[in-house]
Amino acid sequence: MNSDTGNSGGDPSESLDHDPLESRIEAPTHRLHPAAMLIGALRNVRRWVSALVLPGGALLVSQGFGARTIFLAIVGLIAVAALAAVWGFLSWRATIYGVSGGAFHLRQGVIQKSERTIPLDHVQSVDTVQGIVQRLFGVVEVRVETAGGGTNEPDASLSALSRAAAGTLRREIENSRREPAGGEEEESGPVVVRHLTTRELLIAGATSGQIGVAISLVAVVSQVFDEFFSQEFVERVVTTFAPRSVTALLLLVAAAGLLAWMLAIGGTVLAHAGFTLARDGDYLYIRRGLLERREAAIPLSRIQAVRVVEGILRQPFGLAALRVESAGYGENAGVSTILFPLLPRREVDRFLRAAAPEFAGEPALEPLPSRALRRYVFRAVLVAAPFVVAGAAVSTFGFYAGLPIPGCGPGDCDPGVVPLFAFEVPFGVLLSPLLFVPAALYGWLQFRDAGWALSGDRLFARSRVLSRTTTVAPRRRLQSRGVVSSPFQRRLRLATLQARVASGGGGAEIQVVDLGSNTAGTLAKRLGPGSSS
């Protein structure tokens, strides 16, 4: 290993000559980029100010906003900044890292020293993140993840390395896991598989289906608004701006929906701007982000399954997103990772052949037996039943309790009821059962979209919740497979095929519900270890 490998500052003199860690790992150890001092200081200021903002605000309110109080507050802030700067320098001085002996070594800590040794064959990913501050100095944060990940914090983090040092560190870790290429030592670098254009980015945001999350965010903001303002003030605002007609109410709802839609688009743009997927040998590289740029490396050997997700807004336009289930990968292990946020469905196979050939293929899927249709419809109707009952109950209670009912004039509820066998019945009681119709159609749609195929050594399974999802998993990636049949299924000679792949702590499940029982048993045997397809 060269003496300057991984030196973020590019100066060999920065390596520590007499540190105990260096003597143990028998390799030069290296400091972070000097920008780590400022980054650490800013993080400390943010942490300390967050802890002091409430008591400090209470003190200011109790003492009044006089010149003396403001002066003391400014002095306090200067002291916090000075202490943070000193602590940032000490943290930078105490942090060293190195790669040798088949392991990554990290030592850090000002008062309480901590040393971390991660065997290179346990490393699952070496990701880089570039926030706004890092971008100003042209450095990146390097995050090392292992198979034991699963928390929001990386196993090891280097807050500031130059891009050259980060690339060198990544190559040292990744090359230790690659097998020799039979004498071919020339490295051509990652080849771009696909880049997300600006047009595709905006379409991805508009059809992401995240509008529900945005509406929830608007609701949370409104609750915070209620906490900070008095009830009288809120009532006055509501009285002033409340819609006074059905048209105004519809316009208000449309405006709220448009705001939520714009928030969903904005969130997608922030997360996936500049999304680029590249491949270099047995690794896929993902680069994305507008304000915070992230670069991640996914070993192909760790991908357990690929999911082609056709959202309810995307399917009519023939669009889909690709996700991967990966064993122990990433800071949110157990949650599938975006492989590519948007591409035409007809291009998925060609895309996978270039990015992950093991998961490519578009075989014709086998449909479910027709006798399974009744179970799909029944389940969907059963889910809708509580809403039907609740709607009828609310309508009945509102009518008989004398509460306002849409369509009723003052003191006159005749427009809201219909005669039925000499009884007056609210319209809601008669209209609520109509919810069973879309529920039954949804069940039929689930049945129609469900299917499976076993092509070569790969299982293809398609199902629908809201989005239609096609999962591809090679047989050798399956950790378990089995058949489950309830008493109701046995009456119709049906069963459910269940398989599981490694993904985070609990793994990810693949199901084909209501297969023919004989077909499910045969398929489970063919997917078993040692069987030939």
- Region of poorest pLDDT, from 107-111, 187-191, 244-248, 458-462: 244-248
Q: What is the DSSP string of 337-402?
A: EEEEEEEEGGGHHHHHHHH-GGG---PPPBPPPGGGHHHHHHHHHHHHHHHHHHHHHHHHHHHHTT
Confidence (pLDDT) at 245: 60
Gyration radius of the chain over CA positions: 30
Q: Which residue has the higher pLDDT, 16 or 357?
A: 357
Q: Which two tokens stand for residue 477?
A: 């990636």
Closest Cα partner for 6 from 100, 145, 131, 135?
100
* Arithmetic mean of pLDDT over the chain: 79
**Residue 354: Cβ within 10 Å count:** 14
- Region of poorest pLDDT, from 65-69, 323-327, 337-341, 404-408: 404-408
Q: What is the pTM of this model?
A: 0.73
Pairwise CA distance, residues 233 & 225, whole Å: 11
Contact (CB, 8 A) for 271 and 288: yes
Confidence (pLDDT) at 240: 63
Amino acid letter, 377: V
Confidence (pLDDT) at 274: 92
- 174-229 per-position pLDDT tens digit: 776 555 444 444 456 789 999 999 999 999 988 887 655 555 555 555 555 555 55
Confidence band for 392, pLDDT divided at 50, 70 and 90? confident
- Indicate the pairing of strand 458-464 with strand 494-501: unpaired
Q: How far is CA 169 from CA 7, 12, 93, 160, in A?
A: 9, 15, 20, 13
**Residue 297: Cβ within 10 Å count:** 22
At residue 32's C-alpha, the angle toward residues 29 and 33, to 5°, is: 135
Confidence (pLDDT) at 423: 46
Confidence (pLDDT) at 32: 94
Confidence (pLDDT) at 15: 41
Confidence band for 429, pLDDT divided at 50, 70 and 90? low
Confidence (pLDDT) at 212: 53
- 442-455 per-position pLDDT tens digit: 999 999 999 999 99
Confidence (pLDDT) at 499: 93
Residue 265 three-state SS: helix
- 317-347 per-position pLDDT tens digit: 999 999 998 875 444 444 468 999 999 999 9
Confidence band for 100, pLDDT divided at 50, 70 and 90? confident
Contact (CB, 8 A) for 85 and 41: yes
- 472-513 per-position pLDDT tens digit: 999 999 988 999 999 999 999 999 999 998 765 556 889 999
Whether the pLDDT of residue 21 is over 60: the answer is no
Q: What is the DSSP string of 187-223?
A: ----EEEEE--HHHHHHHHHTSSTHHHHHHHHHHHHH
Q: What is the dihedral of CA 341, 343, 348, 351, to 10 degrees?
A: -80
Confidence (pLDDT) at 332: 42
Confidence band for 528, pLDDT divided at 50, 70 and 90? confident
Indicate the helix (H) or strand (E) that contains 514: strand 508-516
Contact (CB, 8 A) for 391 and 507: no
Pairwise CA distance, residues 449 & 436, whole Å: 20
At residue 151's C-alpha, the angle toward residues 145 and 156, to 5°, is: 35
Most confident of 175-179, 242-246, 297-301, 332-336: 297-301
Q: Which residue has the higher pLDDT, 280 or 184?
A: 280
Pairwise CA distance, residues 352 & 333, whole Å: 22
